[in-house]
Amino acid sequence: MEQYRFLTLRDAPGLADAAAQWFHEKWGVPKEAYLSCMRAYLGGETEYGWYLCLSDDRIVGGLGVIENDFHERADLTPNVCAVYTEEAHRGQGIAGRLLETVVRDMRQKGISPLYLLTDHVDFYERYGWEFLCMVQNAGSPELSRMYVHR
């Protein structure tokens, strides 16, 4: 873990454009959507933050917190979103550390519980997340797994 540096976007606001581009490339959500959320966080309009892992000043992992991660359960908020670790850096505990950091940070700000939408099984449970229910993805017939961290 010594080769990795973990930070929030507020720690390095100059990374906003690169981070938005990185998340866009991973998830296909428009870059501007990420930038809009990041600007709100950087401007103090919300405490829903963005968390990054860097290796040699390159983003290799990250996640964010948003109101709703494209599902129809508006009551299940806020959502941890866009959890991703570059393939070459997987298995190093990066996602776990990011998840632990976001839970701790949000709890310190009085924001709990957190929700997370995923199709993964047996990954998030390792970090204290519990399966809650299946939810409808917005604009899609597909259902996904909703997890909660209390």
Share above pLDDT 90 across residues of the chain, in percent, rounded to a whole number: 95
Render pLDDT for 14-69 as a digit per residue (tens, 0 to 9). 999 999 999 999 999 999 999 999 999 999 999 999 999 999 999 999 999 999 99
Share above pLDDT 70 across residues of the chain, in percent, rounded to a whole number: 99
Burial label, 116 (beta-carbon count in 10 A; 0-12, 13-18, 19+): buried
Q: What whole-number distance in Å separates Cα of residue 66 and Cα of residue 58? A: 23
What's the pTM? 0.95
Q: What whole-number distance in Å separates Cα of residue 109 and Cα of residue 123? A: 26
**Domain parsing of the chain, residue ranges:** 4-112
Structure tokens at 63: 């996640």
Domain 4-112 is of which CATH architecture?
Answer: 3-Layer(aba) Sandwich (3.40)
Q: Is the pLDDT of residue 138 over 90?
A: no
Give the strands of the sheet with 50-55, arranged side by side.
Answer: 4-8, 50-55, 58-66, 79-85, 114-118, 143-149, 130-136
| Nearest in space to 102 (alpha carbons), one of 89, 113, 92 | 113
Give the model's pLDDT for residue 1: 67
